[in-house]
A and B are shown apart, each in its own frame.
Chain A
Amino acid sequence: MIDRETLLEVFDIAERRRNERRRFIKMAGTAVAATAGASLLAACDNDDDKSVPVTPTPSPTPTAGLPAGDVDVLNFALNLEYLEANYYTFAAFGSGLNTTLQSGTGTQGSVTGGAQVPFQDATVAAYAREIAADENLHVTFLRQQLGSSAVAMPAINIDGGANGAFTAAARAAGVVGPTGTFNPYASDENWLLGGMLLTDVGVTAYKGSASLISNKVILDAAAGILAVEAYHSGLIRTLLYRKGLAMPALRTNADLISNARDTVDNGFDDDQGISSTTINGGAASNIVPADSNGIVFGRTAGDVLNVAYLNAGAVSSGGFFPAGLNGNIKTSTAA
């Protein structure tokens, strides 16, 4: 679906931001596999030298060093990154995740829907490109860490039509009526709402998983991805809040999306919209979905799947993942 050029565009952005990226990916993979780090460090010493040999494809990282539990958690995260990467890559570039990044264990699926957003606000378009590049890197990074244990991209529904998962979510939330359609690619504002729907979930998924990871290096990386998802979510929620000043429906729709997530995930009211609150007698925003300790809430994997499957029950497919997730973590919890 995506052509080679588009993928290169995606990575061109990353390349310009972080021009040592590919060398690092290759080197990190090598390092984890190696029995001695000295040769790696020696290689990196000469990083300025463009002639440092770089293999064109990332070296798979053996998972021998990773406990089975960590593999499960990373594969769960990888499924979510497949979803986010496709949504943002389509929105920014008009095509999805490159096919070379879709293979793995389990059943490889295809993407239903997805389209380039005709962005009106140049800054929003710039943000879309940034987030797309980051999500592509997350997919690449997780796949590399998992090596041959990486799951394939499952079937993904990011369609903007009447049968799309976004429409189902928007109907459940009341963002559109029971027969209405929600197309997240139709406008800057719709893209922001679609992004809020997915990215907040990414934050809570990584937050909920952090304490389950055993390997310290993986934990460190997961913490860094959590932070990036929070940067993305903060970016989107800030824009919805700011644009919501002139277009109040943006704030109320964001609140409705939050409420809908809360309805399906569990019995707690932990999710939060963005509408202003009162703190010490003055108006305050609610960009950060934090509890009374100022701590961002997390979701268990099962609760994340309730949202992704758009189903409050214990099921193993639906919503954004019509054939379910690949990997060992695939069942949502009964609310």
Chain B
Amino acid sequence: MSHDVSPIDALAAHAEQRKDRRAFFKAAVGAAAVGAGAFLVSKPAQAQTLTDADILNFALNLEYLEANFYYYAVYGRGIPATSITGVGTPVAAVGGKQVTFQDSLLAEMAREIAEDELAHVNFLRTALGTAAVAQPAIDIGVSATSAFSVAAQAATLVPAGGVFDPYASDLNFLYGAFLFEDVGVTAYKGASSLLTNKTYLDAAAGILAAEAYHASMIRTTIDQLGGNVGLKASTIRGDTELVSNARDSLDGTSDLDQGIAYVSSGAGPTSNIAPTDGNGIAFGRTTGQVLNIVYLNKAQVTAGGFFPSGVNGTIRSSANNA
């Protein structure tokens, strides 16, 4: 896709490319209701043997990543050492930086989110007890080969080999957060129906909601700046479509992602804060699809991107979308 088209054109083109894939995927999920066995078939093969602890540990890895990103952005350091121990060897996150926020409201929201994410880490660790995995190696640095830079290069926000520093400005921070938060929502949404324990399910639903609030805060704040010139696209809203498309290129043929570009209609311009399917329902990703994104790899791999040594726990492999 050309990247110098207007955001609306980009969106239209994007919609064109994704419509058959998404309809197919959603229909496949709907079809799974038909037979008892079909549901599991539509999930990765590993889903058949997952325990609740496996799923919570998978979520814990993602929370480690999110919490460290926000902690660095707000405080200039990672989460406390007491919150990263567990099964495996804990590795402190390095490479993040404190953001010098210009917008005091954004600073206040970042502080709120940082605390929520640390609370999620601690809650999951408590729920898992001695089964909790340690924090794996996390790359939230700013070198030209960092996960953020590679992701931004894939999205064409920066040129090949260019650096993307999510701590350099309010807008860069928002883009970094945008990259994570929607993925968190899709991960919890995808995992919710896999949990068997009702108490865990209730908690996971509450964390899912919190992640959606966070994503909404970030998307709304970006949208309030949305008409300004973007890093690559003609507008900031257009930039978000580039990031969304990059994510979509990793997680398979299903389209599970949307930027915030406005859509014109007979009733007037319409925003896209909530990324939803044709039923007004938020997207979910399988664990494998989530790992495609955080590993920044569409192939079936067990490490890369934001987790250079992979995540800890039994759910480690991304899906094979290569």
- Cβ of A298 and Cβ of B189 under 8 Å apart? no
Q: Can you show 6 pairs from A to B with CB atoms below 8 A apart?
A: A17-B258, A25-B278, A27-B27, A31-B30, A134-B276, A234-B216
| In the bound complex, CA of A216 to CA of B30 (Å) | 11
Contact check: which of B26, B206, B267 meets A207 at CB < 8 Å? Answer: B206
- Cβ of B277 and Cβ of A18 under 8 Å apart? yes
Residues of A near B74 (CB, < 8 A) are 282
- Number of residues from A at the complex interface, CB < 8 A: 100
Say whether chain A's binding surface is mostly helix, strand, loop, or mixed.
helix
Q: Does B209 contact A (CB under 8 A)?
A: yes
- Cβ of A223 and Cβ of B267 under 8 Å apart? no
**Chain B interface size range:** 35 or more
- Cβ of B206 and Cβ of A228 under 8 Å apart? no
Residues of B near A28 (CB, < 8 A) are 26-27, 30, 279
Contact check: which of B111, B112, B216 meets A231 at CB < 8 Å? Answer: B216
Residues of B near A286 (CB, < 8 A) are 112
Quote the shortest CB–CB distance from A66 to chain B (angstroms).
Answer: 10
- Cβ of B29 and Cβ of A217 under 8 Å apart? yes
Of B117-125, B160-168, B299-307, which binds chain A? Answer: B117-125
Contact check: which of B27, B123, B215, B269 meets A24 at CB < 8 Å? Answer: B27
Quote the shortest CB–CB distance from A31 to chain B (angstroms).
Answer: 4
Q: Who on chain B is nearest to A223 by CB?
A: B192
- Cβ of A287 and Cβ of B109 under 8 Å apart? yes
Contact check: which of B30, B32, B105, B283 meets A242 at CB < 8 Å? Answer: B105
Contact check: which of B28, B29, B188, B281 meets A225 at CB < 8 Å? Answer: B281
- Cβ of B112 and Cβ of A287 under 8 Å apart? yes
Residues of B near A210 (CB, < 8 A) are 192, 201-202, 205
- Cβ of A18 and Cβ of B276 under 8 Å apart? yes
Q: Who on chain B is nearest to A137 by CB?
A: B280
With contacts A294-B115, A294-B117 taken as known, whether A130 is within 8 angstroms of B273 at the C-beta atoms is yes
Contact check: which of A37, A215, A229, A230 meets B38 at CB < 8 Å? Answer: A37
Q: Does A1 contact B (CB under 8 A)?
A: no
- Cβ of A123 and Cβ of B265 under 8 Å apart? no
Quote the shortest CB–CB distance from B269 to chain A (angstroms).
Answer: 5
Quote the shortest CB–CB distance from B244 to chain A (angstroms).
Answer: 13
- Cβ of B284 and Cβ of A220 under 8 Å apart? yes
Q: Does A284 contact B (CB under 8 A)?
A: yes
- Cβ of B273 and Cβ of A227 under 8 Å apart? no
With contacts A31-B34, A227-B282 taken as known, whether A24 is within 8 angstroms of B26 at the C-beta atoms is yes
CB within 8 Å of B: which A210-253 residues: 210-211, 215-217, 219-221, 223-235, 237-239, 241-242, 245
Quote the shortest CB–CB distance from B162 to chain A (angstroms).
Answer: 31
| In the bound complex, CA of A210 to CA of B226 (Å) | 34
Q: Does B15 contact A (CB under 8 A)?
A: yes
- Cβ of B24 and Cβ of A44 under 8 Å apart? yes
Of B81-89, B217-225, B310-318, which binds chain A? Answer: B217-225
